[in-house]
Amino acid sequence: MKRFSLLLTAAALLWGGVCAAQTGVLDPDARYRELPPLTGRMVLANQYTVLQPAAPMPAPQGQQPQQAPRRQRYYPVDSDSLKVDAAIDSVNTARSERPVAGTRRKGNNPILFLVGDSTMRTEVAGNGDNGQWGWGYFLPNYFDADRISVENHALGGESTRSWFKNWLFPMLRAVRPGDWVIIQLGHNDQYGGREMNSGRYRGILPGTGKEFTEVILPGNGTRERVYTYGEYLRIYIDEIRAKGAHPLLLSLTSRSGRGEDGRINPDRNTEVIRTIAQEKGVPFIDFNAAIRHKFDDVFDPRKVDYLFFSDGIHPSTFGAVINAETFVEELRKRPDIGLSAFLLPEKHYESAVRKAGKPVVFLFGDNPDGAKAFAQAVPRSKGTVDNRAQAGVSARTYLRDGYWNRIYGALQPGDYVLIRFHRDDKPLNTGVSKGERPGNDDEKVVATREADGINEAVYSFGWYLRKYCLDAREKGAVPVILGDGPEDSRTWAREAARQVGAAYADTPRELKKILK
């Protein structure tokens, strides 16, 4: 019998729900890992503008002054605001991809409506074909679908003003008492400038005041009153409350830009949102601060880089999942917000082989039998081996399909993570779509998987190894990359280890020396 037993085990799942893994990947049993089916119905973009009430006449002497008019009502009229290139404003995408408001309601259950821009809803074609994803796409995984539905009405390119004009009232037709509406708008708001009456008509006034300006829209000469950022938020709140629903204000998702101190820049809109929330008695979550905390104090800067795709604003699929998880974490802290009662219980993972006060050596890769020799090289003093290798996977699919989440969730400071893969040279988008790009660079391609039509960003073999290492270090674990397969795979693995400062072992003997 060997000096110790090699234990082949899966994570012990403590209770149901969703694990906030911070790996940027959903759990393997997440309910909505795949794209939801299209509704098969088109969203008709009924446009709205403001009909101004007449100014109240002065009261005769000795009489009570006339009461100020209630907030003006808004009626459908033709609008010039979308007479721009539809591809620019992703309007045609909205017609085919966004749900018709209210169509996902189950019985008399409430709906959580999401109001936002491209950081909240999958950008452009609605399917991630440019590598960018919105966090609202992943949010249904964290709510009890038997008690509440989630409808994502966010739309790329919209501002607080343009979403109000084009989409608020079509959505409100479906809002019922007891529903919830999350509002996260402001990335596309332009303070003054040419977009006050041209382009995408996203110009607004800054601040929280009641002041306004009026602009003449080209085309039919429509006169439009333009408010401050804070006043638009007041309008959203008032109209949602008038339907008996509950508004919830969020500060915006974080961008990647850093200040001179090296820390992520806070968003300019946060204090206005906070002020309006306090004024109106509406719950507020400082989403921006929570995300920035992770970017600054938890994640390696190299991880922050890949949480965005192509720019420093729009999340990759990894960034969108982490944004969704961050919102859920903040909501769990707020039992005073009734929406929190609809969350699924949080999952917690553990290793079934962990002994009290002792580390675990997690070993994973694509060949359980081939991993045994490395497992036998682990000294007893370093902990008990938990072999999580899976036959038939690649470095890419072990991450994508959620197996890594179970290890990440179980990691404790002082654990070891032994990573052993060879580069899979199978096609990127056919069969089970398990191939990786060759090499060790940071480049990626978006591949449409033939089996399910989902667009997935595919990175290099070495990139996946480096991601595992960075994730492990977040939890205080020690990563070691093991050589496997042909020489090119070993070369890329060796280089990946060097880039992140991790140890590399080509043989069980070398691993034993490293761990002594």
Averages of pLDDT over each 10 residues, the chain, 516 residues: 33 41 78 41 27 38 42 30 34 51 94 95 72 91 96 92 93 97 96 86 93 88 92 97 98 95 96 98 98 96 94 93 97 97 94 93 92 92 94 95 95 97 93 95 93 90 97 97 93 97 96 92
Query: Which domains does the chain show, CATH number per domain?
Result: 7-16+347-515 (3.40.50.1110), 69-188+244-342 (3.40.50.1110)
d(CA 124, CA 94): 9
Q: Which pLDDT score is estimated for 2?
A: 33
User: What amino acid is encoded at 476 in this protein?
Assistant: G
Q: Which pLDDT score is estimated for 116?
A: 95
d(CA 128, CA 130): 5
User: What amino acid is encoded at 114 in this protein?
Assistant: L
d(CA 356, CA 358): 6
d(CA 307, CA 326): 13
Which candidate, 262, 261, 258, 248, places its Cα nearest to that of 179? 248
Which candidate, 89, 96, 134, places its Cα nearest to that of 115? 134
If one counts every other C-beta atom within 10 angstroms of the C-beta of residue 108, the result is 7
Coil, helix or strand for 503? strand
Which candidate, 323, 175, 338, 352, places its Cα nearest to that of 254? 323
Q: Which pLDDT score is estimated for 32?
A: 54
User: What amino acid is encoded at 229 in this protein?
Assistant: Y
Q: What token pair was written down for 85?
A: 């290139």
User: Hunting for tokens 């993570």 — which residue is that?
Assistant: 417
Q: Which pLDDT score is estimated for 368?
A: 87
Q: Which pLDDT score is estimated for 31?
A: 61
Question: Between β-strands 349-351 and 149-152, what pairing exists: parallel, antiparallel or unpaired?
Answer: unpaired
First to last CA, the chain: 22
Q: Which pLDDT score is estimated for 207?
A: 95
User: What amino acid is encoded at 483 in this protein?
Assistant: G
Coil, helix or strand for 27? coil
Output the CA angle 501-258-441, nearest 5 degrees: 40
d(CA 229, CA 218): 23
